């Protein structure tokens, strides 16, 4: 009997929940392999092909662009469909694109491959939007509120284990296969693991019956305000969106500066960066085992606020570091903090979303996140170039601290 199956058969888990829990664990386990292999090394492959910073930025932001364009229409479309089926079929449509990465070296030169990857990233964003919005709604419907921290914590543990294993294995594979054949093998492994993740999504079913949408469709009412669901911003959930906008903006402003600082200032070798990544996910794994206990004691709201405040340590300490030793310590601390934020924040969000109107609320959250991805990625690097990397990291650390305090006060 597999470890994942044993987790789902825990004596404390009611029998009616065990199937969903098991498939959620298998889903994230396979996705960890995808993330540690194909996804983790995609930008590295693009860089080895000669991609410049603008092209790599496009590769990472295409999904956010398409999400901003279609998130709200997607939410309206989801309201009248069975969310479990939408999640499964959009996951298949999204993950089949991984197979298209494999033949690119046979079809194009270096620049042709780079632009093909950017185009594929844009097209992948189309099914990714209903998949992302639908998955959050499916998780809320398939996992009772009292068990969400338990399931999220185990999913974080499983993801960390499979990510670390696949990342280390991928690095070994790339060292022993010629370029670009090694990356083609890696993309194939990721594509197969992605489909296995979709296979397990097929078996997940909501435990509650979703309330059907009532009244005429917003388009039929002829009101742009109703079509855009601007009423959500006037509801209590509007405050949640605002404080999470502050969090994600502070989060993504700093992210583009991390590799610049570690490479150009700390001048770390790839092996040192790899070890730091392993330390990060090891402590994510260990911290995630305590998430359910902490959530029962303090609640997801407080854990999210305190965790976001704790995330201010990463850019702050990094800006003051001048050798590899503080970097290793920072990665260890960062993993513990992220295990709390990564597990508690989605559950805090779902606690604030009305059960009978999830798609529209989650679509607005998706818009907020993707706007922060775009704005933060562009503005963060620009500010770093303007005032210097260290000053920018210290500034963004302060913004994270303020964002966490705002979540605690107004969220």
Q: What is the pLDDT of residue 7?
A: 52
**Residue 215 falls within a domain, yes or no?**
no
Q: What is the pLDDT of residue 391?
A: 93
Q: What is the CATH number of the domain that holds 392?
A: 1.20.1250.20
What's the total number of domains in the chain?
2
**Residue 349 falls within a domain, yes or no?**
yes
Q: What is the pTM of this model?
A: 0.70
| Residue where the block lists tokens 């996951």 | 91
| Cα–Cα distances in angstroms (integers) from residue 236 to residues 37, 346, 351, 397, in the given order | 40, 17, 12, 28
Buried b (16+ CB within 10 A) or exposed e, 364-401: bbbbbbbbbbbbbbeebbebbeeeebbebbbbbbebbb
Q: What is the pLDDT of residue 212?
A: 43
How buried is 351 (Cβ within 10 angstroms: 0-12 exposed, 13-18 middle, 19+ buried)?
middle
Work out the pLDDT band at 1, boundaries 50, 70, 90.
very low
**Residue 221 falls within a domain, yes or no?**
no
Average pLDDT of the chain is 82
> The tokens of 396 are what?
């963004």
For residue 53, how far is the Cα from the chain centroid?
22
pLDDT digits (tens, 9 = 90+) for 252-310: 888 877 877 776 788 776 567 767 777 888 888 888 778 778 888 999 999 999 999 99
> The tokens of 78 are what?
């989801």
Q: Are residues 201 and 266 in the same domain?
A: no
Q: What is the pLDDT of residue 393?
A: 93
Whole-number Å distance between alpha carbons of 190 and 30: 9
- The neighbour count for residue 239, using CB atoms within 10 Å, is 16
**Which is nearest to 166 in space by CA: 288, 270, 35, 284?**
35
pLDDT digits (tens, 9 = 90+) for 42-71: 877 887 787 765 676 677 777 777 777 777
Whole-number Å distance between alpha carbons of 353 and 337: 24
pLDDT at 358 over 80: no
Whole-number Å distance between alpha carbons of 306 and 247: 12
Whole-number Å distance between alpha carbons of 35 and 53: 22
Domain boundary among 206, 240, 258: 206
- CA 390, 393, 397, 403 torsion-angle sign: positive
Q: Give the highest mean pLDDT range of 20-34, 39-53, 140-154, 210-224.
A: 20-34
Helices 181-201 and 148-176: crossing angle in degrees, nearest 10, is: 160
Work out the pLDDT band at 394, boundaries 50, 70, 90.
very high
Kindly report the CA angle at 61 between 202 and 126, in degrees rounded to 5?
40
Q: Looking at 255-299, list the stretches that DSSP marks H as alpha helix, in order from N- to C-terminal side.
A: 257-260, 270-288, 291-298
DSSP string, 235-252: SHHHHHHHHHHHHHHHHH
> The tokens of 15 are what?
């029998």
Kindly report the CA angle at 281 between 197 and 368, in degrees rounded to 5?
70
**Residue 212 falls within a domain, yes or no?**
no
Work out the pLDDT band at 226, boundaries 50, 70, 90.
low
**Residue 101 falls within a domain, yes or no?**
yes
**Residue 64 falls within a domain, yes or no?**
yes
Q: What is the pLDDT of residue 4?
A: 54
**Which is nearest to 147 in space by CA: 8, 281, 27?**
8
Domain boundary among 171, 206, 241: 206
Q: Are residues 343 and 405 in the same domain?
A: yes
pLDDT at 210 over 50: no
Work out the pLDDT band at 208, boundaries 50, 70, 90.
low
**Residue 222 falls within a domain, yes or no?**
no
Q: What is the pLDDT of residue 366?
A: 81
**Which is nearest to 402 in space by CA: 339, 311, 298?**
311
Q: Are residues 240 and 154 in the same domain?
A: no
pLDDT digits (tens, 9 = 90+) for 107-156: 998 899 999 999 998 898 888 888 887 887 788 788 887 787 788 778 87
Q: Are residues 38 and 156 in the same domain?
A: yes
Q: Are residues 195 and 236 in the same domain?
A: no
**Which is nearest to 288 in space by CA: 154, 389, 392, 404?**
154
Contacts of 354 (CB under 8 A, 6+ apart): 237, 361
DSSP state of 108: -
pLDDT at 84 over 90: no
Compute the average pLDDT of residues 319-344: 89
For residue 163, how far is the Cα from the chain centroid?
13
Whether the ω angle into residue 180 lies within 30 degrees of 0, i.e. cis, is: yes
Domain boundary among 161, 176, 206: 206
**Residue 268 falls within a domain, yes or no?**
yes
What is the domain range of residue 381?
228-411
Q: Are residues 306 and 404 in the same domain?
A: yes
Identify the helix (H) or strand (E) that includes residue 324: helix 324-352
């Amino acid at each position: 009997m597999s470890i994942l199956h044993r987790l789902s058969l825990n004596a404390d888990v009611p029998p009616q929940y065990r199937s969903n829990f098991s498939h959620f664990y298998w889903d994230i386990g396979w996705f960890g392999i995808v993330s540690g292999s194909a996804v983790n090394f995609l930008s590295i492959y693009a860089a080895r092909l000669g991609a410049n910073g603008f092209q790599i930025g496009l590769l990472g932001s295409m999904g956010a662009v398409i999400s901003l364009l279609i998130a709200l229409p997607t939410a309206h479309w989801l309201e009248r469909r069975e969310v479990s089926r939408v999640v499964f079929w959009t996951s298949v449509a999204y993950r089949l694109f991984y197979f298209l990465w494999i033949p690119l070296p046979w079809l194009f030169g270096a620049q042709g491959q780079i632009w093909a990857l950017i185009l594929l990233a844009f097209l992948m964003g189309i099914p990714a939007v209903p998949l992302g919005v639908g998955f959050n709604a499916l998780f809320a419907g398939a996992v009772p509120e009292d068990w969400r921290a338990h399931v999220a914590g185990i999913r974080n543990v499983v993801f960390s284990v499979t990510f670390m294993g696949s990342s280390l294995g991928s690095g070994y594979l790339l060292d022993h296969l010629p370029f670009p054949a090694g990356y083609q093998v890696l993309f194939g492994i990721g594509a197969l693991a992605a489909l296995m993740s979709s296979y397990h999504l097929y078996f997940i079913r909501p435990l509650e019956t979703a309330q059907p949408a009532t009244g005429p469709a917003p388009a039929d009412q002829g009101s742009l305000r109703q079509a855009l669901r601007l009423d959500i911003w006037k509801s209590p959930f509007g405050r949640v969106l605002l404080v999470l906008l502050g969090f994600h903006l502070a989060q993504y402003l700093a992210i583009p500066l991390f590799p610049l600082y570690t490479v150009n200032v700390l001048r770390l070798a790839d092996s040192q960066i790899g070890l730091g990544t392993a330390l990060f996910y090891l402590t994510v794994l260990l911290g995630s085992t305590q998430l359910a206990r902490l959530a029962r004691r303090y609640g997801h709201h407080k854990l999210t606020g305190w965790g976001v405040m704790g995330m201010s340590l990463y850019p702050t300490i990094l800006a003051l570091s001048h050798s590899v030793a503080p970097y290793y310590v920072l990665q260890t601390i960062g993993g513990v903090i992220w295990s709390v934020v990564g597990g508690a924040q989605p559950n805090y969000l779902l606690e604030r979303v009305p059960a009978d109107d999830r798609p529209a609320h989650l679509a607005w959250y998706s818009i907020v996140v993707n706007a922060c991805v775009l704005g933060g990625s562009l503005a963060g690097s620009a500010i770093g170039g303007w005032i210097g990397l260290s000053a920018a990291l210290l500034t963004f650390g302060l913004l994270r601290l303020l964002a966490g305090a705002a979540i605690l006060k107004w969220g």
